[in-house]
Structure 1
């Protein structure tokens, strides 16, 4: 995984962006992840436009989404390599991008309207 604050995405991150015809956008240092959902499938990721004074643009969960205010926890992006390595290659997708992947190789990436 590219180090937070690094100016260079990995080859795998660039490949995902190229595959879907999307520009590379370096990730923020922090992500929001639903830790209690990580044993479920599929895995969903949504990147929003970083809010003013915000620190998180990626929201990642597995299985069913919950509207509970404590569904997501803030986590330094470097921990994804240990907790959910499947998502690391998607972190350079631009704001507005969404992905769904599963542990059997399914993958879908698109830009939200």
Structure 2
């Protein structure tokens, strides 16, 4: 990892630890070089809320985070596209703050400071 990416990851980790502390979750290191699944087509209309859920980790390459905008997501095979986490800094930097939550956690937010909900969903661990 180059020095710029390393510095970026350290900055993100501090914000992630704050979110984990706020909601009583154990911080789970998530390298910015890992992949996540993102429904990029749902962001085109700038729909709210932004949603994320984390399934159990299945490989070292994937964070098993799934991110989408809007009320619902589709279960079609092509709904989520793989993306390296560090690419979120360009278009969706606030999402980065939640990615230190461990598997089984979800988040939802509207705007930068309008509404935020973070919770543990045990059903995500039974996938």
**What range describes the TM-score normalised by the shorter chain of this pair?**
0.7 to 0.9
From 104, 109, 112, the counterpart of 2:118 = 109
Moved over 4 A (4+): 6-9
Deviations 1:18-51 (A, max 9, x none): 0001000012511100000112110100011112
Q: Which runs of 5+ in 2 are unaligned?
A: 123-127
Q: Which moved more, 1:70-79 or 1:50-59?
A: 50-59
Equivalent-residue separation in structure 2 for 1:52 and 1:31 (angstroms): 11
What do you get for the CA RMSD once the two structures are aligned? 2.2
- Tell me the number of residue pairs that the alignment of Structure 1 and Structure 2 aligns: 111
From 64, 67, 70, the counterpart of 2:75 = 67
Largest Rg, 1 or 2: 2
From 4, 12, 35, the counterpart of 1:30 = 35
Q: Is the Cα contact below 8 Å between 2:107 and 2:119 reproduced in 1? A: yes
Q: Is the Cα contact below 8 Å between 2:107 and 2:117 reproduced in 1? A: yes
Aligned runs of 1:3-82 on 2, under 5 Å? 3=6, 10-28=13-31, 29-38=34-43, 39-51=46-58, 55-63=62-70, 64-82=72-90
Structure (1/2) with the larger helix percentage:
2
Change (3 A) 1:85 1:35: same
Change (3 A) 1:53 1:91: closer
Deviations 1:56-88 (A, max 9, x none): 410000112112211100000000111211211
